[in-house]
Amino acid sequence: MQDLNILSDQSLEMPASPYQARHFINGRYIDSADKRQSDRRSPSHGIVVSQAALGSEHETEEAIESARTAFDDGRWSQLSGKERSIILNKVADLIEKNAERLAIIETLESGKPISQARAECGGAADLWRYAASLARTVHGDSHNTLGKDILGVVLKEPIGVVSIITPWNFPFWILSQKLPFALAAGCCCVVKPSEMTPSTTAMIGDFLAEAGLPAGVCNIVLGYGDPVGSLLSSHRDIDMVSFTGSTAVGKLITKSAGDSLKKVALELGGKNPQVIFPDANIEQAADAVTFGVYFNVGQCCNSSSRIIVHEDIAKDFVEYVLCLSRKVAFGNPLNDETQVGAIVTPEHLQKIDGYIKDAVKQGAKVSLGGDPLSVPNVGEQFYQPTVVENITPDMAIAREEVFGPVLTILTFRTLEEAIQLVNDTEYGLSAGVWSANVDTCLEFSRRAHAGTVWTNTWMDGFPELAFGGMKQSGQGREIGSYGFEEFLEVKSLVMRIGNTRQKWVKETST
């Protein structure tokens, strides 16, 4: 084992018993009709930390029917924007009040460090507040130049019943990038979290009820992609699917939804580059690279796992990143100081390791890490911070989403070559550029095929700015006013003023 900053102690006590997560349908918590449950064993501590009701077609149908009825009778969609805003702000207050409880269970279910879970769960309240503000901004257009007796009005109305399917890596944050915006638009929803991290989503049912959300407006069904997720993407009473997860599953959802021509919004994978030019602030760039690849254990669609550094500074820059990587606090997620936690499942750990071993067989060099790791007094489901050099652009590790704490290094000579490397991928989620030259930053930003481009920073985000990808990183946008608009349908209203319409069928005398 190479020199690493490993933390085995923890700052918090373990819960006394597993959390019991249940479905939330038509305003009340229920168990599955067949009483089936699934256990979630903590990837970091190896104990059962939650037991969740395991949904079937029965519960999914019940939830969809509840949302459909709630939307059609207008109990939510016909409220004023002000009334919806008040309830969403109350939910935000309850999220902040319960942020520590949410963060602890999320850390235990996902393996992420408690400091990052706190930021995710507590910070999500800001998304709810921003969505609440948007509820009062919905407006269309009027056209009064269509003729003296015609008034045209463009209305924006909620799209209907939305199924929201969320992943395991940021369960509460990604829920909050979707649900409050759909609710702000006046939609009714059925939510399915990942079966690996169901609890924080299940908990929000309490907040919604306490805040005064009418029963049936938001329903939560726990369980597996088959049957729950499959039914939520194909059911005739679902008007839109909003999904975050792998590109492969996103393609399946698109095909399933296509039979009924539902609207589909997808936030999928990424192979995100940071490009480092010789005139960059090397210290800041190296720190951002280290953060970008190890944040959330690298299990992040925005992970900057692909570094493209100018050959004139490549050796010194990589040495700097290696030095910082050895200082990253790694280990027990319940330690306040930990920065890199556990891998979500043993199978995913083996997948990460497989990418590295295959790259080595093809001539790559592992400069740091490259193996699973056991943390004393905690567990074995960890992977060392890893840096891989001697990479060629055709290697799988340079093209596919590893989704772990693994950094690959490529080099370039010219701006043209850098942009070619950046765009030579099926993904287009995010990209970054580091340079003191504003012209370089602007040209790169215009030419990079990515939904978000960061210049001289990485992963700064704000509720006001839309998020989403190009190419096989997805379609549609989340958060911001553009993400809000995804949940609205446009309707044109043509009004003739007065009795001025000319008859098409002329009367004849008999």
Q: Which residues form the catalytic set?
A: 267, 301
Secondary structure class of 489 (helix, strand, coil): strand
80/258 Cα distance (integer angstroms): 33
Give the pairing of strands 430-434 and 273-276. Answer: parallel
Residue 246 burial (10 A CB sphere; 0-12, 13-18, 19+): middle
400/419 Cα distance (integer angstroms): 18
- CA geometry: angle at 98 spanning 95 and 99, to 5°? 75
479/463 Cα distance (integer angstroms): 6
Residue 141 burial (10 A CB sphere; 0-12, 13-18, 19+): exposed
- Specify the DSSP element, H or E, that contains 309: strand 306-310
Question: How many CA atoms does the CB half-sphere of 64 hold within 13 Å?
Answer: 22
What is the b/e burial string over 402-438, where b = at least 16 CB atoms within 10 angstroms of the residue's CB? bbbbbbbbbbbeebeebbebbbebebbbbbbbbbeee
3-state percent helix, strand, coil for the chain, nearest multiple of 5: 40, 25, 40
373/222 Cα distance (integer angstroms): 32
Fill in the DSSP letter of residue 265.
E
CA distances 249 to 167, 182, 230, 245, 487, Å, are 11, 22, 10, 7, 22
180/157 Cα distance (integer angstroms): 16
Which ranges constitute the DSSP H helices of 409-497?
A: 415-423, 438-447, 480-485
397/422 Cα distance (integer angstroms): 15
Q: What values do phi and psi take at 477, rounded to 5?
A: -135, 155
Chain position carrying tokens 């840096």 = 387
Number of neighbours of residue 228 by Cβ within 10 angstroms: 26
CA distances 79 to 75, 177, 482, Å, are 7, 22, 22
List the one residue out of 24, 285, 259 whose CA is nearest residue 164. Answer: 24
Return all residues near 84 (Cβ < 8 A) that are at least 6 apart.
76, 132, 135, 183, 184, 186
The CA dihedral of 283, 285, 286, 292, to the nearest 10 degrees, is: 140
Report whether 329 contacts 337 (CB < 8 A).
yes
